[in-house]
Amino acid sequence: MKMNKLKFLGLFAFIAILSTSCSDDDDNNVTQPQTIADIAIAGEDFSILETALTRTNLVATLDGTTQFTVFAPTNEAFNTFFSSLGANVNVNNVDVNVLKAILLNHVVSGEILSTAITASTYVSTLSPFSSAANSPTISMYVQKAGNVVTLNGGIDSKGAVVTTADVDASNGVIHVVNRVIQIPTLVDHVVDNPEFETLQTVVTSSAQSAVLTALSGLTPTAPATLFAPNNAAFATALGTGGFANGASDAAVTKVLQYHVTTAGNVRSSQLTNNQIVPMFTDPTQNTTIILGTNTVDIRDTASNLSRVFQADIQASNGVIHGVNRVLQPAL
């Protein structure tokens, strides 16, 4: 009886050891989760992206545990972009600082699955507006219609369309895109958002070419802040009884200038209550900032209040705050 018991215990120990060994073998055969960098390096259609990440020392950033969403351009997308820069431009000779800024314009903090994207929203990329410490980062306009996700206006603008969504990685998610997403200017952001369609129409009209030239001429070192009225705001201002109804081209120019401040890249966090903000009219006319509980209003020369409904749309040459009323200067 004792011998049988010893044999049983010995058999049990053998099975336990065998089970542990098999379990270890199974663990060794399990495919380990891939990081965003791993997927980019392994993908045949991401060889240019791999080279770009290596040149800009961004591989380590996307190979860690911090969660990111990456909009990954294909080789064809990169080739199209480089061709637009010049006949002989490629991933190996393009300015590395330009390349890094472009790559970071495709990266967003946190994991954003396509199912979490709303009809339209802004997200902040990792591409810095300037080299200053704690610089704000460039905004990306994201739209979704059905299952189609469009970024910064799509290929008709300087953006892209997601062709393959939700490629899972251990440190986030990849969405494959069909174009390189270029860094938007103030004018680009206005053009890309349908809420600013009337503003786009007015600014790009032949009568306002000087205003468009001035906006397009802004640079990262000489930026401006644009208070951008939405379509409903223009419908009121230009409609029957609106202050701009029947206004001359010169008056419209002054109205547009009254929405651009000469104070530089002014983010909402930099605004203070009763702050006087000079605008780009000639001669200069001011607006006044009125801060409430979680609200920002701009008071114009007619004492009307225009509310900011979308703050801090960051572009390469300034920042936009969407407003719900056209600001009225002295005409």
Q: How far is CA 77 from CA 32, 162, 252, in A?
A: 29, 12, 40
Domain membership of residue 3 (yes or no) is: no
Residue 115 in domain: yes
Domain stops at, among 143, 177, 211: 177
Q: In the prediction, which pLDDT does 29 show?
A: 56
* CA 305 – CA 62 distance, rounded (Å): 45
195 & 172 share domain: no
Are 143 and 228 part of one and the same domain?
no
In this structure, the answer to whether residues 146 and 193 fall within a common structural domain is: no
Q: Which of 177, 208, 237 is the last residue of a domain?
A: 177
Q: Which structural domain range is residue 171 located in?
A: 36-177
Same domain, yes or no: 81 and 168: yes
Residue 24 lies in a domain: no
Same domain, 241 and 127: no
211 shares its domain with 293: yes
- For residues 192, 196, 198, 201, the Cα torsion angle rounded to the nearest 10 degrees is -30
| Same domain assignment for residues 173 and 40 | yes
Q: Which two tokens stand for residue 13?
A: 């120990």
**Same domain membership, residue 235 and residue 292:** yes
CATH number at residue 269: 2.30.180.10
Same domain, 212 and 277: yes
User: 0.85 cut: is pTM over it?
Assistant: yes
Number of domains in the chain: 2
Same domain flag for 202 and 99: no
Distance CA 189, CA 5 (A): 80
Distance CA 209, CA 249 (A): 11
User: What's residue 322's pLDDT?
Assistant: 98
**Would 258 be classed as within a structural domain?**
yes
Q: Is there a single domain that holds both residue 154 and residue 65? A: yes
Handedness of CA 108, 109, 111, 117 (dihedral sign): negative
Q: What is the pLDDT along the chain (331 residues), one digit of tens a residue?
A: 444 444 433 433 433 433 444 444 445 555 678 999 999 999 999 999 999 999 999 999 999 999 999 999 999 999 999 999 999 999 999 999 999 999 999 999 999 999 999 999 999 999 999 988 899 999 999 999 999 999 999 999 999 999 999 999 999 999 999 999 999 999 999 999 999 999 999 999 999 999 999 999 999 999 999 999 999 999 999 999 999 999 999 999 999 999 999 899 999 999 999 999 999 998 999 999 999 999 999 999 999 999 999 999 999 999 999 999 999 999 9
Task: Find the distance separating the first CA and the last CA of the chain, reported in whole Å.
Answer: 111
Q: Taking Cα atoms as reference points, which of 233, 138, 259 lies closest to residue 189?
A: 138
Asked if residue 116 belongs to a domain, the reply is yes
284 domain residue, yes or no: yes
55 occurs within a structural domain: yes
**11 lies in a domain?**
no
Please identify, among 152, 177, 202, the residue that sits at the C-terminal boundary of a domain.
177
Q: Are residues 155 and 228 in the same domain?
A: no
